[in-house]
A and B are shown apart, each in its own frame.
Chain A
């Protein structure tokens, strides 16, 4: 398979007839380069994901891995670290022969990310792999580093002529957070897109790789019964909750800089909102899906300074009880600066000003140390226009509520009114429940397995586009700015509770937060 000039391109040859009916589509031969190769994400997620892909025969025919990190070490030492991480964090016990086969094609390049020599050495390793394979290999650069290095690495890749390849595809995979403000996101986009084309860039929001999020699209667009109701005429309000029962653990350094709004709402929760509110795409190609999501984000008005106190609430947890034990408040957590004003809870009321959703509030809330761990989307329908039951019989009638639970116990629950058995017509709400776990044989792959494969295949459907990131920041940035310029102390909520009382101020009369 020698590299030859004048080879036909994808567009010049017919589709591959052998891929019809296959569950696993081909992935072109690839070298994956992980910057930040010794970090937590690489060890806990990326390396186990790569092993599992190898185990299932889902890696490309030719696959090589390069780790890049500051620490000085030999290839053999890095392979040992990879092996240890895979044995510890893989979702299945490794097959020794497969593991060895994967590790045989691993190399390590040491150095700081701003050193030219790192990229010179990296280029040599990449060329060496191509020589060994006897064919051009696609290159995927995975930035699993602190965000402050993203632009440094991108620019060095450009300067070293590693951002493009004459006969293969080069891709850039960027972990979150993609900026911490709108300005930073724009600047990072500008720097990245000065070197790479947008089609080369894959911004990870690992929520999008979860089966549960992908199921949202199946739920909405594969079932005819919901779409006719999916609009302002029938839906009263939508509530999206991502609650954690745990505190910040050992992540004080990161979390105190980020806060709940940046950590979850700016990315994951706005993505969930997009999946709920988007119009049906023409097809599920990356651009079509992302176009529809961007339209939703653009329909959400940028909050003004005057509006923010009425549409956004933040709070911080204080000491309380969780899981039957006393737990500290945020300010007592190890590593949190005294007097920190970082929010551990954030709730927003957003409006999607378009034909379908005008007037329907979307309530978003997330927090640490809440009563339990749950991620769900609750869609509350408008009440029936007239109740013909006697006054007493109507007391238990409540608007229908459709709850899409993402975790734990992924499922769908529809709250309906039903007659209580007896001689009187009395109604109470009952649940019709469906649990995904009861209906499928397969185990869901880890989000990173899907995302790495898609990035290597060049399928950007589950990745965030540049305008999408900026549209997300356009909504959140004014809130971040307002909060940062408002002195504390913040409203508080007791650890293990439902969150701060202040969150109720966001609700319209008659609306209520679901119990967490």
Chain B
């Protein structure tokens, strides 16, 4: 983006004027080049503290092609009384030869306390009608999310950023009643879910899914929710009856009741992990098999052992997505629906609150 940016800005403006400016910029761009076409995929409303606007812009810049087609940033500064706005129309810098050049729109509206009561009437005219809208409030502001949620079909949250595990899970459950929740804490565990699903997919090992005897998840100190969602996923998919985990020796431990036996659960902090998410997991079965997965260079390091079998250690290739990759995936997921998140969330809530 950036080669052919078109910019409009105004101080003391109105949503109508901003919307008119958006239309005018599109007309000008199309008149300039016929192959300029606006992307029409997804609206994203980001409510951010104004002092952190730059940091959020940097994070969003990193998502590349997963950038929402229209991004509306509501930059909040409590004492601001005037509505200022900036509209940026950016064209893809590297369009494929012969392909149309996609235009993406960013609208930044600076606002203050006095605008909060009517925030919906500011944001509503700025989103493209009939496109799905994703709402993101990375700096908290739950009351604002509650106000804006009628405009959105999906809400982006990162449950590991909540001040408290219980509160984060409660909030995600509350939001789930009103919109589809895309939880970055959940998306960080996607490769781990895919790998365990695949490891237990061969028929001879699949039957041991009913015989899991223990699950240990090692996680970043701030990612207890991510670990909880992971065991919540296993618990909900495998029809366990979850029970509350308790703190013991620096870990959360407890038991879930499966149809054949109890499953010991352990969420263990991995203080050395530098990024949010999971560091590794170990799953044992009553048949004596043990699967261990750990982060490693170039993929997940796998270890598989059995009572009468030698240890196998290998790497399952896969590149790290990084935090920007996870955010990009979150934006993409707003267009999809994962039916397993909510059951996992409910089981995790039972275990962790």
Contacts and interface: CB of A to CB of B under 8 A. Distances in A.
Interface stretch (A2-10, A221-229, A475-483): A2-10
Given A54-B318, A437-B100, A18 B312 contact: no
B171 interface: no
A95 B317 CA distance: 10
A54 B199 contact: no
B115 interface: no
Given A24-B194, A28-B201, A409 B100 contact: yes
A324 to B, nearest CB: 15
B42 interface: yes
Contacts of B12: none
A57 B237 CA distance: 22
B310 interface: yes
A443 interface: yes
Contacts of B237: 17-18, 20
Contacts of B297: 97
B314 A57 contact: no
Contacts of A97: 297-299, 319
A98 B335 CA distance: 29
B308 A22 contact: no
B238 A17 contact: yes
A225 B74 CA distance: 39
A323 B94 CA distance: 22
B253 to A, nearest CB: 23
Contacts of A176: none
A98 B298 CA distance: 4
Interface string B300-312: 0010101011101
A364 B340 CA distance: 46
Nearest to B309: A2
B40 to A, nearest CB: 5
A417 B295 CA distance: 60
A49 B274 CA distance: 31
Interface stretch (B24-32, B119-127, B204-212): B204-212
A17 B41 CA distance: 32
B315 to A, nearest CB: 5
Contacts of A134: 304, 309-310, 312
A96 B207 CA distance: 37
Interface stretch (A58-66, A270-278, A495-503): A58-66
A408 B99 contact: yes
Taking residues whose C-beta sits less than 8 angstroms from the other chain, chain B's interface range is: 35 or more
Nearest to B338: A21
B203 A10 contact: yes
Given A437-B99, A441-B332, A1 B306 contact: yes
Contacts of A63: 317
A57 B320 CA distance: 9
A441 B66 contact: yes
B249 to A, nearest CB: 29
Nearest to B320: A95
A22 B195 CA distance: 11
A381 to B, nearest CB: 26
Contacts of A60: 198
Given A22-B197, A97-B298, A409-B98, A133 B312 contact: yes
Given A8-B207, A28-B202, A438-B37, A18 B193 contact: yes
Interface string B178-206: 00000000000001011111111111111
B102 interface: yes
Contacts of B228: none
B65 interface: yes
Interface centre among A12, A20, A28 (most CB of B within 10 A): A20
Interface residues of A, number: 54
B243 to A, nearest CB: 20
Contacts of A21: 338-341
B211 to A, nearest CB: 13
B281 to A, nearest CB: 13
Contacts of B206: 13-14, 16
Given A1-B306, A61-B199, A134-B309, A13 B339 contact: no
B146 interface: no
A373 B201 CA distance: 44
A17 B339 CA distance: 12
A331 to B, nearest CB: 29
B277 interface: no
A435 to B, nearest CB: 6
A57 B299 contact: yes
B98 A16 contact: no
Contacts of A62: 314
Given A2-B308, A13-B206, A441-B331, A98 B197 contact: no
Contacts of A248: none
Interface string A31-60: 000000000000000000000001111011
A441 B41 CA distance: 7
Nearest to A443: B65
A438 B105 CA distance: 13
B197 A438 contact: no
Given A9-B203, A56-B318, A95-B298, 18 more contacts: A16-B201, A17-B238, A18-B201, A18-B237, A19-B201, A21-B338, A54-B317, A55-B317, A56-B319, A134-B312, A408-B96, A438-B38, A438-B39, A438-B40, A438-B100, A438-B102, A440-B335, A441-B41
27 contacts: A1-B304, A1-B312, A2-B308, A16-B201, A16-B209, A17-B237, A18-B237, A19-B201, A20-B340, A22-B197, A24-B194, A26-B197, A28-B201, A55-B317, A55-B319, A57-B316, A57-B317, A57-B318, A59-B317, A61-B195, A95-B320, A98-B318, A100-B298, A101-B317, A135-B202, A441-B335, A442-B65
Interface of A: 1-2, 4, 7-10, 12-14, 16-24, 26-29, 54-57, 59-63, 95-102, 133-135, 373, 408-409, 435, 437-443
